[in-house]
């Protein structure tokens, strides 16, 4: 799918789009299945949260004077469900990050693969990719947390009228310094998921490998990833423009300027949308599907380009092209 030699920009994009075209079923099948599991788990988590506090909810909405004691079980249940869903989202996102390198591993050598093989291999490397994600978030969180602590401290000093005149400017300059630092960290560790999958490396080893491979090629990596992200964003925006014009329009004549809208939200919603109500639900479902497809395509493209840049750096520095050529010749 790619020339086993240093890759130019055209070869990187040609390899990414060729992989999407040839392995679409395996690539998007695994990614779609992962997102479906996440959606089902999220619905189940919030359904269980609601069932666990259903009686408390009825007591709260019928109470003349709601109290914190009535609302606290509901708040705790929602927070627990939200935390569970966020943890599951982190796990599934790590799985999605492992899918593209697994598919590209076969595509580079021109080998066929199956959905089941991609699914098993991606889940097997998900713990390592998850570790990479957590360590990356932790490294990024340190400067970001420092900035927010200084910002909050400044606000406290301003409230107490004890802040020096130069403090806001210093915090602003610190923010300008932190943004490049965060960007540098993200790009420096952008190859870590690929290393975790293709080299079966642990999280720390994968981060070190990414840092070494990106060093000396940071600006090239940054530029191509930025261009790819921009292409994905613009393409997604163009695809979704027709949906903006196809949205059912509410009827603003349902109520006069002096009419009181009904207290029931469902009745108000029905009156405003009228005959377009059934079309509204169709529009919402279509919007969700289109958004999901766009996100899958964007995620796959960015991850494939990142993995191809990782392979390119290994070809340039470690002679990986010769090893791949020998592997392709012995298939």
Q: Provide φ and ψ at 295, rounded to 5°.
A: -65, -40
Phi/psi zone of residue 262: left (φ > 0), alpha (ψ -120 to 50 degrees), beta?
beta
The model carries a pTM of 0.82
Please give the average per-residue pLDDT across 100-112, as a whole number: 89
Whole-angstrom Cα Rg for the chain? 25
3-state percent helix, strand, coil for the chain, nearest multiple of 5: 80, 0, 20
Q: How much is the pLDDT for 258? A: 44
- First vs last C-alpha separation in the chain: 15
Which residues, other chains included, contact 309 with Cβ-Cβ below 8 Å and sequence gap of 6+? 7, 12, 190, 191, 221, 224, 225
Report pLDDT digits (tens) over 172-189: 666 677 888 889 999 999
Nearest 5°: the CA angle 122, 126, 131 is 155
| 88, 34 contact by CB (below 8 A) | no
For the ranges 49-58, 74-83, 151-160, 305-314, the one whose mean pLDDT is highest: 305-314
Kindly state the tokens that stand for 30: 């695994």
Please give the average per-residue pLDDT across 120-130, as a whole number: 95
């Amino acid at each position: 799918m790619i020339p086993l030699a240093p890759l130019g920009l055209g070869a990187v994009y040609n390899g990414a789009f060729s992989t999407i075209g040839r392995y679409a079923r395996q690539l998007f099948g695994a990614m779609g299945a992962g997102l479906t599991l996440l959606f089902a788990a999220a619905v189940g988590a919030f359904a269980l949260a609601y069932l666990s506090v259903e009686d408390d909810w009825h007591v709260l909405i019928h109470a003349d004077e709601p109290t914190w004691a009535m609302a606290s079980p509901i708040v705790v249940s929602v927070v627990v469900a939200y935390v569970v869903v966020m943890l599951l989202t982190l796990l599934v996102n790590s799985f999605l990050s492992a899918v593209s390198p697994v598919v590209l591993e076969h595509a580079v050598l021109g080998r066929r693969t199956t959905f089941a093989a991609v699914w098993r291999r991606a889940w097997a490397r998900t713990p390592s990719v998850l570790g990479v994600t957590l360590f990356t978030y932790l490294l990024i969180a340190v400067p970001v947390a420092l900035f927010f602590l200084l910002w909050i401290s400044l606000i406290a000093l301003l409230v107490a009228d004890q802040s020096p005149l130069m403090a806001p400017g210093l915090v602003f300059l610190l923010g300008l310094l932190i943004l490049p630092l965060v960007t540098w960290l993200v790009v420096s560790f952008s190859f870590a998921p690929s290393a975790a999958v293709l080299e079966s490396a642990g999280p720390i080893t994968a981060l070190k490998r990414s840092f070494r491979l990106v060093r000396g090629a940071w600006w090239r990596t940054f530029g191509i990833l930025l261009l790819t992200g921009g292409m994905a964003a613009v393409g997604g925006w163009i695809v979704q423009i027709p949906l903006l014009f196809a949205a059912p329009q509410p009827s603003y004549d349902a109520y006069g300027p002096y009419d009181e809208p009904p207290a029931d939200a469902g009745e108000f919603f029905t009156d405003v949308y009228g005959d377009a109500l059934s079309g509204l639900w169709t529009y919402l479902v279509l919007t969700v599907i289109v958004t999901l497809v766009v996100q899958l395509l964007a995620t796959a493209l960015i991850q494939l380009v990142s993995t191809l840049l990782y392979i390119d750096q290994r070809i340039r520095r470690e002679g990986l092209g010769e090893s791949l050529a020998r592997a392709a010749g012995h298939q």
